[in-house]
Amino acid sequence: MSHEKLKTLFRFTPFRVLLPSALMLLLFAGSIFLYILPNMEHELMESRKRNSVELTAAVLSTVNHFHALSQRGEITEAYAKRLAREFIRSMRYGPENKDYFWVTDTDARMVMHPYRPDLIDRDLSEFRDKEGTRVFTEFVRVALERGEGFVNYYWQWNDEPGRIEAKLSYVREFKPWGWVIGTGLYVADVKEDIAVYRNRAAAILVGILLVIFLLSFYILRQAAMSEQKRARVQTQRERLVRVLQESEERYRTIADFTYGWEAWVDVDGSMLYCSPACERMTGYPPEKFFDTPGLLRSIVIEDDRDAWDAYLVVANSDHGDSLDFRIRTADNKTRWIGAAGRSVSGIGGKPLGLRFSFRDITDHKLMEEQLRHQALHDPLTNLANRTLCLDRINQAMRRAARRDNYFFAVVFLDLDRFKVINDSLGHRFGDMVLTETAIRLTAEMRGLDTVARFGGDEFVLLLDELSSPGEAIRIIKRVRKRLSEPFRFQENEVQTTASFGLVLSPIANSRPAEVLQHANIAMHRAKEAGRNRFKVFTDRMLETAVDQLTMENDMRQGLVNGEFYVAFQPIMEIGGNEVIGFEALARWNHPDRGNIPPSEFIPMAEETGLIISLGEWVLREALKTLTEWRRQTNNARDVYMSVNLSSKQFTRYDLDKMVLRALNDSGLDPSSLKLEITESAIMDNPEAAIRILRRLRKAGVRFSIDDFGKGYSSLSQLQQLPVDTLKVDRSFISRMRTDPENMEIVKAVIALAHSLDLDVVAEGVEEGEQLRSLIDLECECVQGFYFHKPMSMEAALKLLRLRSEKGGSGGREA
């Protein structure tokens, strides 16, 4: 073909349109693969990183809340840390909820990792990835130097050891506890998303190139065949232009496609541009938004539309604004959307509409809601926790201050003998009892009432909008009856009751915590009155509680300052009128109040647990005293020492070891010690008590049952106990001569003891007539003021020395 013909060909064929279009296509293809897709990968990675930062901030907010609770003294720091670890362990997000959080301390020691429990409490400062990076040391360095930041490294999957992938983690320091909290994402996940977009774009471009190639081939072939076909070629060129225009539109869609939903709304409200991501978020395709100008506002949930309308006014400015709102998707689901928008202006400031970027923040909002719920509810029962309970009480107090004839009540209840159930049947059974209790309480409450678990087996009820104070009493009686019904779990059945303390409005000049304290005081008065009862709080109760708290503090200080001492009351053998032993009795000489009766401080010691340390001190003092007596006189060689054991002391798992250590330290033979135990101490947990007693009996220690006849032990249980002596309670002895029924009880106890080959000691003998009656009943030993009052160590030693001089114990005191 000649040069002129070639020029003619180019002049009349569609090359003038085809070549620029082809070049533009190649330019778009190059921009997509060289700029758009890499930029999309960068934007997607940045979006994931921002998501990591926002979620970590939400978690840190909750951790800081627990720290604040511990700082205010509402919970201990150890309990706050445990709650924080469990919250963080439960946090999941991302595709299939596979992304998680972990915690190390600033020494690179793992505090919590939900998928790698083998790393917990390990020093990970030398933990390296395949590139030799000390991963956890780098986490700590970034957190300490910058407060927060990202770290690239390689991570080996726990369940697929051969799988090692690149990972990017965000770490942030929590200074109050020296924690580093982090979360990460796998780089491969981002690349997989980009690969989907890249393959889609490549497929479209290949299709377009193929179409252009075929059309170009066809057009050139027609142009080369004949000039006469120019008219037909012109038609084909116009068709090609339309195809190219459609292709350009597809290019623009690919170029503007991002992970978020991008939209451009004209000043008249019509949609100028809507990216395909809208369908993933809303269920509606872009065409629906183009065809229905008001669709965007219509899918905003009605409760959020006023906020959306107000947001449009603010967003229609140069600085723009953001908003979180809810939408109703095409499949009738609710999703949270985060919007950032601003106005767009053309040449000369002409308004061109509003440009929006929308993100799906549903997972973020759900996590925030989950954190809020967990921060205000008990994890076992799902009831309100202490924080929410105090807030509800505060709201009720404010309503009472504003409104006349408004009544409410706060009830503090505690399950009776729950510890026995928990210890005997196990914590799992105990948790089931607590859960069932929560269900029963909720079922008995009205919709406006609040049920909270305060801790352990303690619950709080807020009875709101009462018609009168009497209605609160009726509700408590109904609840008490419901809780007294047996708990049945599989083959186990157990029955318990509850004790209630009640505070009725109006409540003047009090804080919510004080109201709960008053209800707690009333509950303890109910327990003291016999359990399965309720008591209404009075000011006198508070005064008594303050006095008891003062005595408790004085007792603790008294144990440190040596204000306690041991007195010794002789135990007499009736036949020979001889001292055979002494009972060690705790006494308290208060620096301000003088000698405080045991009837006042012993119950307080029992209630507060001080009896455990006091009891061990009395035991050691008594054994040390007996050792000293035997050193100074041979008359003490066959005398034993009797020491009381409290029911609280049986809660010590090492009670037998403690007793044997005290004996070993004193150098005494175990047979020199007789431990006095009450029926109630045995009955609280008979199996554990019998095991302890048998171990001590095997070592040579002897036992007596104190205050026999006041408890409820059965004959079969009594036969299982390794006891040597029964002590008849002083209440029976004091009325023995005046009340025939008491005389029969004493006679029956002595006969029972003899039938079991046990000795009998009668307590509280103060009169000769009582002694003569006991001699007639063949009682072996007595103890009481008729012979001797409790005496000092020196007076008891003097009494022992008189044994040889008078051939007995020295008889009665003058």
Give the confidence band of 244 by pLDDT, cuts at 50, 70, 90.
Answer: very low
Residues 356 and 330 in one domain: yes
Whole-angstrom distance, CA of residue 533 vs CA of residue 501: 9
Task: With H, G, I as helix, E, B as strand and everything else as coil, classify residue 377.
Answer: strand
Answer yes or no: is pLDDT of 241 > 60: no
Answer yes or no: is pLDDT of 714 > 70: no
CA distances from 666 to 289, 623, 669, 670, 797 (A): 93, 6, 9, 10, 18
**Contact yes or no for 706/644 (Cβ under 8 A):** yes
What the block records as the tokens of 170 is 């965000």
Residue 156 inside a domain? The answer is no
pLDDT digits (tens, 9 = 90+) for 249-277: 654 555 455 678 888 888 777 888 888 88
Amino acid at 87: F
**Contact yes or no for 320/341 (Cβ under 8 A):** yes
Average pLDDT over residues 2-29: 56
Structural domain containing residue 302:
261-367
Give the confidence band of 612 by pLDDT, cuts at 50, 70, 90.
Answer: very high
Tally helices (H) and strands (E) across the chain. Answer: 28, 26
Which CATH number belongs to the domain containing residue 308 in this structure? 3.30.450.20
Amino acid at 770: Q
Residue 298 inside a domain? The answer is yes
- Model pTM greater than 0.85? no
Average pLDDT over residues 343-351: 75
Residues 526 and 577 in one domain: no
- Cβ burial of 162 (10 Å; 0-12, 13-18, 19+) is exposed
Task: With H, G, I as helix, E, B as strand and everything else as coil, classify residue 455.
Answer: strand
Q: Which residues contact 715 (CB under 8 A, 6 or more apart)?
A: 752
Domain boundary among 225, 256, 287: 256
Average pLDDT over residues 39-67: 85
Q: Please tell me the number of Cα atoms within 13 Å of 792 on its side-chain side.
A: 3
| Lowest mean per-residue pLDDT among 167-181, 412-426, 509-523, 682-696 | 682-696
- Identify which has the larger pLDDT, 42 or 328: 328
536 forms bridges with which residues in the sheet? 502
Answer yes or no: is pLDDT of 122 > 60: yes
On the question of a cis peptide bond just before residue 603, with omega within 30 degrees of 0, the verdict is no
Nearest to 617 by CA among 549, 558, 671: 558
State residue 648's pLDDT score. 85
Residues 527 and 554 in one domain: no
Give the confidence band of 637 by pLDDT, cuts at 50, 70, 90.
Answer: very high
pLDDT digits (tens, 9 = 90+) for 545-604: 667 778 888 899 999 999 999 999 999 998 777 999 999 999 999 998 899 999 889 888
Which CATH number belongs to the domain containing residue 664 in this structure? 3.20.20.450
Whole-angstrom distance, CA of residue 463 vs CA of residue 451: 9
Answer yes or no: is pLDDT of 668 > 90: yes
Q: Which residues contact 626 (CB under 8 A, 6 or more apart)?
A: 582, 636, 639, 641, 666, 668, 672
Residue with tokens 């490549």: 202
pLDDT digits (tens, 9 = 90+) for 641-659: 999 998 888 878 789 999 9
**Contact yes or no for 566/793 (Cβ under 8 A):** yes
- Helix ranges (H only) for 328-468 are 362-376, 386-402, 418-425, 427-444
Q: Which residues contact 294 (CB under 8 A, 6 or more apart)?
A: 269
Residue 342 inside a domain? The answer is yes
Domain boundary among 219, 241, 256: 256
| Torsion angle (degrees, nearest 10) of CA 227, 231, 236, 237 | 80
Mode of pairing for the β-strands spanning 702-708 and 725-728: parallel
Which CATH number belongs to the domain containing residue 401 in this structure? 3.30.70.270
Give the confidence band of 814 by pLDDT, cuts at 50, 70, 90.
Answer: very low
Residues 483 and 572 in one domain: no
Nearest to 410 by CA among 551, 309, 536, 580: 536
**Contact yes or no for 89/115 (Cβ under 8 A):** no
Residue 164 inside a domain? The answer is no
Amino acid at 440: R
Residue 119 inside a domain? The answer is no
Residues 505 and 555 in one domain: no
Percent above pLDDT 70 for the chain? 84
Residue 132 inside a domain? The answer is no
Q: What is the DSSP string of 736-755?
A: TTT-HHHHHHHHHHHHHHHH
State residue 758's pLDDT score. 92
Answer yes or no: is pLDDT of 191 > 80: no
Whole-angstrom distance, CA of residue 253 vs CA of residue 263: 12
Rg (CA), the chain: 43
- Identify which has the larger pLDDT, 706 or 391: 391
Residues 406 and 515 in one domain: yes
Q: How many CB atoms lie within 10 A of CB 453?
A: 25
Average pLDDT over the chain, rounded to whole? 84
Residue 638 inside a domain? The answer is yes
| 254-284 burial: b if 16+ Cβ within 10 Å, else e | bbebbbbbbbbbeeeeebbbbbebbbebbbb
State residue 387's pLDDT score. 92
Average pLDDT over residues 653-666: 93
pLDDT digits (tens, 9 = 90+) for 497-517: 999 999 988 877 789 999 999
The tally of domains found in the chain comes to 4
Give the confidence band of 248 by pLDDT, cuts at 50, 70, 90.
Answer: very low
Residues 397 and 528 in one domain: yes
**Contact yes or no for 344/357 (Cβ under 8 A):** no
State residue 188's pLDDT score. 78
- Cβ burial of 191 (10 Å; 0-12, 13-18, 19+) is middle
Answer yes or no: is pLDDT of 202 > 60: yes
Nearest to 539 by CA among 566, 561, 521: 521
Q: What is the DSSP string of 657-676?
A: HHHHHHHHHHT--GGGEEEE
Which stretches of 548-601 are assigned E, i.e. beta strand? 564-573, 578-590, 594-596
Mode of pairing for the β-strands spanning 594-596 and 101-105: unpaired
Domain boundary among 256, 287, 310: 256
Report the run of H or E that residue 611 belongs to, with start and end: helix 610-632
| Lowest mean per-residue pLDDT among 93-97, 633-637, 698-702 | 93-97
Whole-angstrom distance, CA of residue 662 vs CA of residue 624: 9
Task: With H, G, I as helix, E, B as strand and everything else as coil, classify residue 570.
Answer: strand
Residues 271 and 251 in one domain: no
- Identify which has the larger pLDDT, 455 or 683: 455
Answer yes or no: is pLDDT of 71 > 70: yes
Residues 695 and 754 in one domain: yes
Give the confidence band of 807 by pLDDT, cuts at 50, 70, 90.
Answer: very low
State residue 331's pLDDT score. 93
Compute φ and ψ for 623, nearest 5 degrees: -65, -40
Q: Which DSSP letter does residue 648 get?
A: G
Residues 439 and 393 in one domain: yes
Residues 662 and 604 in one domain: yes
Average pLDDT over residues 230-244: 63
Answer yes or no: is pLDDT of 480 > 80: yes
Residue 136 inside a domain? The answer is no
pLDDT digits (tens, 9 = 90+) for 732-768: 898 888 888 889 989 999 999 999 899 999 999 999 9
Report the run of H or E that residue 173 belongs to, with start and end: strand 164-174
Amino acid at 630: R
State residue 804's pLDDT score. 53
- How far is the first Cα of the chain from the last one, in angstroms, to the nearest whole number? 153
Residues 270 and 298 in one domain: yes
pLDDT digits (tens, 9 = 90+) for 679-711: 777 766 777 788 899 999 999 999 998 867 555
Average pLDDT over residues 100-129: 89
**Contact yes or no for 138/126 (Cβ under 8 A):** no
CA distances from 47 to 50, 101, 633 (A): 5, 18, 90
pLDDT digits (tens, 9 = 90+) for 427-447: 888 899 999 999 999 999 998
- Helix ranges (H only) for 406-461 are 418-425, 427-444
Answer yes or no: is pLDDT of 632 > 90: yes
Question: Can you give the length of the chain in residues?
Answer: 814
Report the run of H or E that residue 502 belongs to, with start and end: strand 498-504
Mode of pairing for the β-strands spanning 179-186 and 101-105: antiparallel
Whole-angstrom distance, CA of residue 171 vs CA of residue 151: 8
